[in-house]
């Protein structure tokens, strides 16, 4: 399967549905982005490494904040998943600096 992934989106097209289901969704998205406007300097390996680091940070941050949820679960509609999503968004935004920038959409042209 790795050989197909190394061939980019063309390789993905040769995978069976079962095989593609085992490919990291971030990898699928990055492979599909190859060749699009703005992806000229795309380094998929570096992107995957960065995403793994961010995931590790969010996981550790969430684990450290679980007592907050258990101290007042009603604040999160008694949903641990809601708490985890809220924490993920805040960790990505406040700790890592990930944010949506609507100005980029104004500067981007689509074919």
The set of residues, in sequence order, having a beta carbon less than 8 Å from that of 97 and lying 6+ positions away, is none
For the record, the structure tokens of 86 come out as 């809220």
The set of residues, in sequence order, having a beta carbon less than 8 Å from that of 33 and lying 6+ positions away, is 39, 42
Our count of domains for the chain comes to 2
98 in the same domain as 70 = yes
pTM value is 0.81
106 in the same domain as 82 = yes
The residue that leads in pLDDT, 25 or 111, is 25
What SS3 class is residue 77? coil
18-62 tens-digit pLDDT: 999 999 999 999 999 998 888 999 999 999 999 999 999 999 999
- Tell me which residue range forms the domain holding 55: 43-111
Q: With 90 as the cut, is the pLDDT of residue 105 above it?
A: no
The distance of Cα 14 from the centroid of its chain, to the nearest Å, equals: 24
Integer Cα distance of 23 and 103 in angstroms: 32
58 in the same domain as 106 = yes
85 in the same domain as 58 = yes
């Amino acid at each position: 399967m790795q050989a197909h992934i190394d061939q980019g989106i063309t390789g993905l097209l040769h995978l069976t549905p079962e095989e593609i289901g085992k490919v990291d969704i971030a990898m699928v998205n990055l492979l599909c982005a190859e060749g699009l406007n703005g992806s000229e300097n795309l380094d998929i390996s570096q992107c995957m490494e960065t995403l793994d680091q961010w995931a590790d940070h969010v996981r550790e941050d969430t684990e450290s904040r679980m007592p907050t949820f258990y101290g007042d679960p009603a604040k999160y509609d008694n949903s641990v998943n809601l708490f985890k999503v809220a924490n993920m968004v805040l960790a990505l935004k406040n700790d890592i600096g990930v944010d949506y920038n609507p100005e980029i959409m104004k500067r981007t042209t689509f074919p």
